[in-house]
Amino acid sequence: MEMKEKLLDRFLRYVQIDTQSNEESDSCPSTEGQKVLANLLKEELIQIGVSHVEVDDNGYLYAYIPANKCDETPAIGFIAHLDTSPDMSGKNVKPQVHENYDGKPIVLNEKLEIVLDPKDYPHLQYHIGKTIITSDGTTLLGADDKAGIAEIITAIEYLMYNPDITHGPIYIAFTPDEEIGRGVDKFNLDKFPVKFAYTIDGSFEGELAYETFNAASAKIFIQGNNIHPGDAKGKMLNAINLAVEFHSLLPSNQKPEYTTGYEGFYHLLQLNGTVENATLSYIIRDHNKEKFFQKKKFIENAIDFMNKKYPAQPFSLELKDQYYNMREVIEKNFEVVELAKKAMESLNIEPKIIPIRGGTDGARLSFMGIPCPNIFAGGLNFHGKYEYVALETMEKATQVILKIVDLVKNFKN
């Protein structure tokens, strides 16, 4: 019970700090709240006895726990991210704790009639009898990834308070701006000299993932021509209409709401516009690299088509790769997956090895030399008002971290 109580206390405190990242900001971190949380976590780690901990100018927290009697054990790392998604407000989060869940719909906000219903989210049935944490339905909760942060710190605290448990060198890192694809832009590898690491950023119990999407962002700018509508014939070029026309060119069956498993998609994140100017912001995703390239080429061809159709050539494109599928790295270092799998099995947790329909900091870190699969943190329904996490799943994630630390002693540098 003590571990669960500490997890709950930490998590409830963390989610009330607004750490939404902001893609429009050029600073690092992109929002000040992320650095506020990082410094709070620094003080908390110092209080539990971690002496090697720092927050750098970019908001990255690095901490190091030296080996005790296991000097030949390779260094291992655990990573979570500080920011929450910009897709929905993370300000003034009011977490609600629902003990001994009875399997019925959970009223998040009676006034606004916002209900978390197992008819819509069948995975709720797996949490009957457990403690479920939600927001009040007006914000996201922030389990992505403050659950992971709470689990890592609680595991480290357990080790610090039980010095008789032998372990090798352990590094932890909390990164800013993961949700906007910048989580390792300024990551200092010199402060994280590990053989391999794990992001604690997955969802349901037992999730173990070493495949991510290949990912790109596409921002499309449209220059219209505004003129009084009474005198518009043959002169007006309505940028909003052009935006709608462009979007209609994309395959309608390749949107997130129509895809699953290994199926990729185009996702329209934002459309802003007036008659004079409009912008569309997309993310492009596919596990298969060739299909990923084809999707990017499709966007480019659609831009060319629209510019040929309209002599003013009103379209311009900003296309950027964000990260790649880490599978090609992890498969060459598969012992890192087997280790996590063994840790789960020893705790009677069924490993569920699936592709992530998203990305993690581990995707880019894997290509930077640190094989880095992803492990469950417990949250579900990420990025929206129906996000929730079961406290018991958070406890199991913490136990998995500790078991990995134990089992890695069988490895040699």
Positions marked active-site: 83, 178
97: three-class secondary structure by DSSP? strand
* Pairing of β 76-81 and β 352-353: unpaired
Residues pairing with 379 in the sheet? 389
**For residues 371 and 198, is the Cβ–Cβ distance under 8 A?**
no
Degrees, nearest 5: CA angle 153-23-243: 140
SS3 of the chain: CHHHHHHHHHHHHHCCCCCECCCCCCCCCCCHHHHHHHHHHHHHHHHCCCCEEEECCCCCEEEEECCECCCCCCCEEEEEECCECCCCCCCCCCCEEECCCCCCCEEEECCCCEEECCCCCHHHHHHCCCCEEECCCCCCCCHHHHHHHHHHHHHHHHHHHCCCCCECCEEEEEECCHHHCCCCCCCCHHHCCCCEEEEEEECCCCEEECCCCEEEEEEEEEECECCCHHHCCCCCECHHHHHHHHHHHCCCCCCHHHCCCCCCEEEEEEEEECCCEEEEEEEEEECCHHHHHHHHHHHHHHHHHHHHHCCCCCEEEEEEEEECCCHHHHHHHCHHHHHHHHHHHHCCCCCEECCCCCCCHHHHHHHCCCCCCEEECCEECCCCCCCEEEHHHHHHHHHHHHHHHHHHHHCCC
